[in-house]
Structure formats: structure tokens, C-alpha cells
Amino acid sequence: MEVRPTLSFSKKDKIGTIQPHDDALIVALRIGGYNVKRVLVDHGSGIEIMYPDLYKGLNLKPEDLTAYDSPLVSFDGKVDIPKDQIRLPIQIGSEVVDVNFIVVDNYSPYTAIMARPWLHTLGAVSSTLHLKVKYLSGNQVEKLIRSQSMARQCLVAAIMHQPEAESLASTEGGS
């Protein structure tokens, strides 16, 4: 009988993080052959999302996309109906997982959101407390590197961002 390592977290996994915190789990991944920063790992989401910065950065073209028409509910409760999706490989160490990304044309401080389907396919476990993703590669427990400073930069960017429509509505209402 083969004994495989257990995916777990301990106090040691918090070393190197600022504690206590309420930071998002932000990582860098290799997506479609490119190193991509500002990727949110959200085990509460059911689909992987790609935002315009990543779409443009990967030099994707409309012919690379396939149709997608199911509605999405964003973090702020707004319903959006994205038009496109694309399947791209995600590489972590020696592990490669093909992922279907829904292309959303909205502002986000993140370039992408990795969700439960990716975590489940990889057999990974994430911890926002420890700011880590762990997965098995062979008989080794591997860790995905997080960026707590990038998480804080994304939070500031999200707070500072005001969509043009909201700015116009507030100035028109005050006139």
C-alpha cells in the first residue's frame, strides 16, 4: 500500500506572512506560456475568469475565443453576460492543467481568478490564513508562492478605481 503525503497547514506555514491579516490569496502563474501576476485564488468561485489586461497581454485574438452566454454575478452583485471563453494551459512546477476561462470585459485589479474547478483538477488545497496553495506532485507536497504585498496593492487599486459611469452619475446628480 502506497503512503502519500497529506495536504495540511500548520503554524509554520504562516512564517513569512504578516499576521494577522485579511489579505486575498494572490499568486503568479504560468498561463498560456506566459508568467502572469495578480492572479486571485478564490475557492468560493465556481469558474475561472480572465480580465482584459490578461487577454491583451497574451495577445489573444477574437478567433481564439469560443462563445459563452451564461450570466455571471460579480462581487458587487451585478449580473454580467460574458460573450467569450478560451481554454488555456496553466503550469505550476511540472504540473499542467487545461482551464476554461470566461473572458469578462470589466475592470478588475486582478488579471484572472482561479476557482474551484482548477483547484479540484490540480488536487490542490488553498488556505487564505496561510496564503498558500498546496498540491501533490508525485510524492512531494508542493507550495504555490503567494504575494501578500501584491494582494495589498490590488486592494488599494480596487478602492481607488471608480468606473466612469459612477463618476458621471455622481457629478450629474450634484448639479
Task: Give 46-71 pLDDT, tens digit per residue.
Answer: 999 999 889 889 998 889 999 988 88
pLDDT at 138: 85
Tell me: pLDDT of 168 over 70.
Answer: no
For every residue of 63-107, DSSP letters joined together read GG-EE----EE-TTS-EE---EEEEEEEEETTEEEEEEEEE--S-
For residue 10, list its beta bridge partners.
none
How much is the pTM?
A: 0.84
pLDDT at 93: 85
Tell me: pLDDT of 175 over 50.
Answer: no
Tell me: pLDDT of 141 over 80.
Answer: yes
- Cα Rg of the chain (Å, integer): 18
Q: Mean of the pLDDT values across residues 148-160?
A: 86
* Mean of all residue pLDDT scores within the chain: 86
For residue 102, list its beta bridge partners.
49, 85
| 24 vs 166 pLDDT, higher one | 24
For residue 103, list its beta bridge partners.
50, 84
pLDDT at 30: 94
Tell me: pLDDT of 144 over 70.
Answer: yes
pLDDT at 118: 95
Q: Which residue ranges form the domains of the chain, and what is each CATH number?
A: 18-174 (2.40.70.10)
Q: Which of 108, 106, 101 is nearest to 49 (CA)?
A: 101
